[in-house]
Homo-oligomer: A and B are copies of this chain.
Amino acid sequence: MTTEINVGVKSQIKAALAEVNKRDIKNVFFVACGGSSALMYPSKYVMDREAKGVDSYLYSSNEFIYRNPVKLGKNSLVILCSHSGTTPETVESAKFARSKGALAISLTNEPESPLAKESDVYLKYEWGKEADAFATNYSVMYQLVFGVLNLLEGNEKYELIEKNLEKLQATYHKAAEQTAAAATQFAEKHKDEKIIYTMASGANYGVAYSFAICILMEMQWIHSHAIHAGEYFHGPFEILDKETPFIILLGLDETRHLEERALSFSKKYGEKLTVLDAKEYDLSDIDDEVKGYIAPLVLNYVLRQYADKLAEIRNHPLSLRRYMWKVEY
């Protein structure tokens, strides 16, 4: 079944790339909201590191529409994402992109959704504990992005990334097992905290952002903020004291030095530090050349355990909302 679904994902990507191939694509816009936007940050990092010709931009959906970038047009590929496919601003962004002549490719869990319908192509990704990592959102996004880079610029990492994404589920499992005890410890230590900061840089910043705004603020009503590890020393670090909790992510990309520097300083003057370091996980199945790109996906997977444990011990289910889906906004 897994194999069948994975074959399906590959053929969806192939179909999407066939549409890209019909156009003269010169720039890529990543457009989504909240967690769906955060999952595009690693792809923006990939574009900055890999794309020799194609330009790329990342916007929250309504910012995209109202900012109305002058470069959006028939040479644009707009990549959108909404889990339910119903996020109004993202559906509107797909319409807006197509009205400008751009190609709109969306990722969603719901093939019958408005977003799927308003896009030129949709890619259905899998979700939940049964899904193989290869068929889930981060992986489908990478397959699309590296596929586009391969198609437009002959980028040679496409096959390599595909091969590594096929081994991602096993890597997830190992990392989750390694961190299960740490996740429980984190939850016990932080159950009464009013604020928890997160911090990262490079390909991992989106994971820190997502944990801050989706898990802590949205699902746990705990104050938070994702601090960029490079910006830390230019303002935010003055907030550090022995009482203020930080979750510090260390990835494996070129910016790791920024995260290490932030951690090293924080250890001197702070005490409530939770460190997730991709170097400590068993990534032996992953090729060195793409470890930096894969690390944020693993960190994100591992962090979900931290969220689950925190919700459990606080008796505050991750599904609980005050406003979202409940009131008008």
Contacts and interface: CB of A to CB of B under 8 A. Distances in A.
Contacts of A329: 233, 237, 261, 265
Interface string A30-73: 00011101000000010011111001010011110011111100
Interface residues of A, number: 66
Nearest to A32: B234
Nearest to A48: B69
A223 interface: yes
A310 to B, nearest CB: 15
B230 A89 contact: yes
A224 interface: yes
A322 interface: yes
B68 A49 contact: yes
Interface stretch (A99-107, A175-183, A211-219, A274-282): A211-219
A255 interface: yes
- The winner among A63, A70, A322 for most chain B CB atoms within 10 A is A63
A63 B218 contact: no
Contacts of A223: 195, 223, 225, 239, 244
A258 B63 contact: yes
A23 interface: no
Interface in A216-243: 217-219, 221-225, 228, 230-231, 233-241
Given A35-B235, A223-B225, 4 more contacts: A33-B233, A60-B231, A62-B201, A195-B223
